Amino acid sequence: MRRVLLCLLALVAAFLVAPTDKAQAGSDGWITICPPTHRAPNDPIVFPGRTGASHLHQFFGNRSVKATSTYASMLAGSTSCGTTADKAGYWVPALYEDGRLRPPNGLRADGKPTRMSFYYRANNVSDSYKAAHPVESFPKNFRLIAGTARATSVATQPKLGKEIYWGCSDNSTGKLKLPQSCSSGAISLHVGFPNCWNGKVTGTNDTPNVVYPSSSVCPARYPRVLPRLIFRIEYPMGKATGRITLASGASYTIHADFWNTWQQASLNRLVAKCLRVGADCGNNPQ
C-alpha cells in the first residue's frame, strides 16, 4: 500500500510540474489571446477618418477596425480574442524581413504556432501605492499609444530596451533594443503601455494624459492607476533572422496602439476580481 501511495504521489508531482506551452498569467491580472485579424494602412487614433493615410498596420482583436471606425461600430464588431468581451483594437506596424512582409501567424522551430498575448497587469506599481490608489479600468473609448513612430535612432525611442523591447519566443534573451536570430525559430516583440493617469479623457488620443510610473509609484500629477497593458507578439523567422524593418521605418520605430472598446462591464468586473484583489485570472477569462 505504501509503495502504491508513493507512486501516486510521484505521478501527481510530475503532473504539477509538467511544462506547458500555454501563456500563463504568472502574476496578478490576466492574459487575453488575440490572433491577428487584418492589415491596412489605417490608424483611427492618429488619422481618424482618413483611409489609407497611415503606414501599414497589423491588427489584432477587433475585426472591424478601420480609419472610419467609431466607438459604436467597434462595439458592434466581432473579435478574435479568447475573452469574448474583449472587443478592443490592438495594432502595431507591419513587420518585414529583408523587405518581405512577415505576418505574425506561423510556426516556431518546435512546430507549435506563434502566440499573440495581451497582458493586463498592475505589477509596475507597488502594493502600498495601489492600496491608496486602487487600479481602475480603462475608461470606455480610451485611446493610447506606446512608443513613437517618429524615432530617428535607438536613443530617440526612450523606452526601447525597457518597456519596449525585442526578444525570442522562448524568453532566452534580455530586453533587446534590436531583433536578433533565435534558436526557437521566432522573435518576440514586447510593448508595455504607460498606466499612470491624470483622470482626463479626450475622446481622441489620450496618450498625453498617461505616463509610466517611476520607482513603483505614479507621479503626483498622474496619480491614478490603470491596468498595465503589454503586447507580446511572436513572429516566425526560422533560426536565422534577416534584417528586420517596420512599415514605420527601422526596427527602433516600433510603437503600438490600443483602443478600449471592451464590453465595459466585463472589463470592470475583471479589473475588480483580478487586479484589485491581486488574483491570477489566467488566460482568456470570461
Question: 42-90: per-residue pLDDT in tens?
Answer: 999 999 999 999 999 999 999 999 999 999 999 999 999 999 999 999 9
Return the SS3 of 151.
coil
Lookup: cell for 34: 488575440
| 216/24: higher pLDDT | 216
Q: Which residues are registered as beta bridge partners of 176?
A: 166
How does pLDDT run across 206-249, given as a tens digit for each residue? Answer: 999 999 999 999 999 999 999 999 999 999 999 999 999 999 99
pLDDT band with cut points at 50, 70 and 90 for residue 205: very high
280-283 and 29-33 strand pairing: parallel
143-147 and 29-33 strand pairing: unpaired
Q: Measured between alpha carbons, how far is 206 from 142 in angstroms, rounded to an integer?
A: 6
Is the whole model's pTM more than 0.75, yes or no?
A: yes
Return the SS3 of 103.
coil
Q: Give the pLDDT score at 20.
A: 35
Q: Which residues are registered as beta bridge partners of 143?
A: 259
Q: Give the pLDDT score at 26.
A: 62
Q: What is the mean pLDDT of residues 258-286?
A: 98
Q: What is the mean pLDDT of residues 22-29?
A: 64
Return the SS3 of 12.
helix
Q: Measured between alpha carbons, how far is 180 from 187 in angstroms, rounded to an integer?
A: 7
Please determine, for residue 160, whether its predicted confidence score (pLDDT) is greater than 70: yes
Q: Give the pLDDT score at 27.
A: 84
Give the CA distances from residue 188 to residues 61, 106, 172, 219, 284, in Å, rounded to whole numbers and listed in that order: 18, 13, 11, 30, 20
Mean of pLDDT over the chain = 93
Q: What is the mean pLDDT of residues 170-190?
A: 98
pLDDT band with cut points at 50, 70 and 90 for residue 15: very low
pLDDT band with cut points at 50, 70 and 90 for residue 181: very high
- Contact, 215 vs 70, CB < 8 A? no
Lookup: cell for 267: 472589463
Question: Domain-by-domain residue ranges, the chain?
Answer: 24-283
CA 237 to chain centre: 20
